């Protein structure tokens, strides 16, 4: 039985569910879950939690992500990416924009920004996914939401082909960011229709492309009985949370029994959540959270016996 987090390289053409389905057959276990959907036409890092690591999948999902995307200016689509039907066309040439124009514009997208999710997306409105409204030709008001763009920058020269302009950007962002919407918004600020024509996720949950294994590599390692060596411990998925190492055996026992604690029993100021780590084994004991009604107390959220 495998336990840990496996960063998978998802190839274009596969859904995230396809990857999980294939891994369940390869590894002969149902206890597998991915940590954030990648559209079929998107390649890149897909962290997969296996065995007891499925208990930390939400935390891996909440960690930052990084992407490389190609922005195509001059044409917009129904899906905001290369798979959709053309909505609007407006010819753009080298006289219209420069590298410096794009660089200055991208600065405006850093920090907390507001996005309107694509109509063809799984965001729910009144219990129904947006793409279901789109497929049924139903009108729906898409809710705006705030997302965090930690960093964004151009990583290629502007490439003018025909009546379009293409360039690559790298984006470091928080959960819930739509890169295709970012591409269309960049175009709008430049005064042109636009879409995202290619996307690769280069980092997710702290895992990078170079950490990731293809399904073929996973099969080979599994057959050689050496795949477990490539799995990251579940503790890796909690590194985004503050932690305290516990030495006292009595305190360890109380934690593993799921007892409540007064915040004053620990030196650290606990605001929201805290991970207790066994000082001897470096293994996680539990995740505790602030008590919802008693400000001075913390209570267990997940205990790892």
Three-class HEC string of 69-132: EEEEECEEECCCECCCCEEEECCCCCCCCCHHHHHHHHHCCCEEEEECCCCCCCCEECCEEHHH
Q: Which residues pair with 4 in a beta bridge?
A: 50
Residues 172 and 282 in one domain: no
Q: Are residues 211 and 261 in the same domain?
A: no
Helix 215-223, helix 16-27: angle, nearest 10: 10
Same domain, 145 and 168: yes
- Predicted local distance difference test score (pLDDT) of residue 79: 94
Residues 77 and 189 in one domain: yes
Looking at residue 265, which CATH number applies to its domain?
2.30.130.10
173 and 95 belong to one structural domain: yes
Catalytic residues: 39
Backbone φ and ψ of 260, nearest 5°: -80, 155
Please indicate, yes or no, whether residues 268 and 174 belong to a single structural domain of this protein: no
Asked whether residue 44 falls in the same domain as residue 112, the answer is no
Mean pLDDT of 13-25: 95
Residues 75 and 144 in one domain: yes
Provide the CATH number for the domain around residue 47: 3.30.2350.10
Tell me the pLDDT tens digit for each residue of 232-289: 999 999 988 899 999 999 999 999 999 999 988 886 667 788 999 998 999 999 999 9
Are 217 and 186 in contact by the 8 Å Cβ rule? The answer is no
For residue range 44-83, list pLDDT tens digits in order. 999 999 999 999 999 999 888 999 999 999 999 999 999 9
Domain range holding 148?
65-204
H or E element that contains 181 = helix 179-190
pTM of the model: 0.91
Kindly state whether residues 167 and 83 are assigned to the same domain.
yes
Query: Phi and psi for 145 in degrees, rounded to 5?
Result: -145, 155
The tens digit of pLDDT for each residue in 92-116 reads 999 999 999 999 999 999 999 999 9
Domain's final residue, options 182, 204, 226 = 204
Number of domains in the chain: 3
- pLDDT at 268 (0 to 100): 61
Q: What is the per-residue pLDDT for 305?
A: 81
The band of 136, judged by pLDDT with boundaries at 50, 70 and 90, is confident
Q: How many CB atoms lie within 10 A of CB 250?
A: 8
Check if the beta carbon of residue 202 is closer than 8 Å to that of residue 68. Answer: yes
Q: What is the pLDDT of residues 209-232, one digit of tens each?
A: 999 999 999 999 999 999 999 999
Segment 161-208, tens digit of pLDDT: 999 999 999 999 998 999 999 999 999 999 999 999 999 999 999 999
Euclidean distance between CA atoms 173 and 160, whole angstroms:
28
């Amino acid at each position: 039985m495998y336990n840990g987090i496996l960063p998978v390289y998802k190839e274009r053409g596969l859904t995230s569910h396809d990857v999980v389905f294939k891994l369940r057959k390869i590894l002969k276990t149902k206890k597998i879950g991915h940590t954030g959907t990648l559209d079929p036409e998107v390649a890149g890092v897909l962290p997969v939690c296996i065995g007891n690591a499925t208990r930390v999948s939400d935390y891996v999902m909440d960690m930052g992500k990084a992407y490389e995307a190609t922005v195509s200016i001059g044409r917009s689509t129904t899906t905001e990416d290369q798979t959709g039907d053309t909505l609007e066309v407006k010819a753009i040439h080298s006289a219209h924009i420069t590298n410096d124009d794009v660089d200055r514009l991208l600065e405006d997208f850093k920090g907390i920004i507001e996005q309107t999710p694509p109509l063809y997306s799984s965001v729910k409105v009144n219990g129904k996914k947006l793409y279901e409204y789109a497929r049924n030709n139903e009108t729906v008001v898409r809710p705006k939401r705030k997302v965090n763009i930690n960093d964004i920058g151009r990583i290629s020269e502007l490439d003018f082909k025909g009546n379009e302009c293409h360039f690559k950007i790298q984006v470091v962002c928080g959960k819930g960011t739509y890169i295709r919407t970012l591409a269309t918004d960049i175009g709008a600020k430049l005064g042109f229709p636009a879409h995202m024509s290619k996307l690769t996720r280069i980092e997710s949950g702290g895992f990078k492309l170079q950490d990731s294994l293809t399904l073929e590599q996973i099969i080979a390692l599994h057959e050689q009985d050496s795949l477990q060596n490539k799995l990251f411990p579940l503790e890796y998925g909690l590194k985004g949370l503050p932690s305290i190492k516990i030495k006292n055996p009595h305190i360890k026992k109380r934690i593993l029994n799921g007892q409540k604690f007064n915040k004053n029993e620990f030196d650290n100021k606990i605001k929201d959540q805290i991970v207790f780590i066994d000082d001897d084994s470096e293994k996680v004991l539990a995740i505790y959270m602030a008590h919802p009604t008693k400000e001075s107390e913390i209570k267990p959220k997940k205990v790892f016996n």
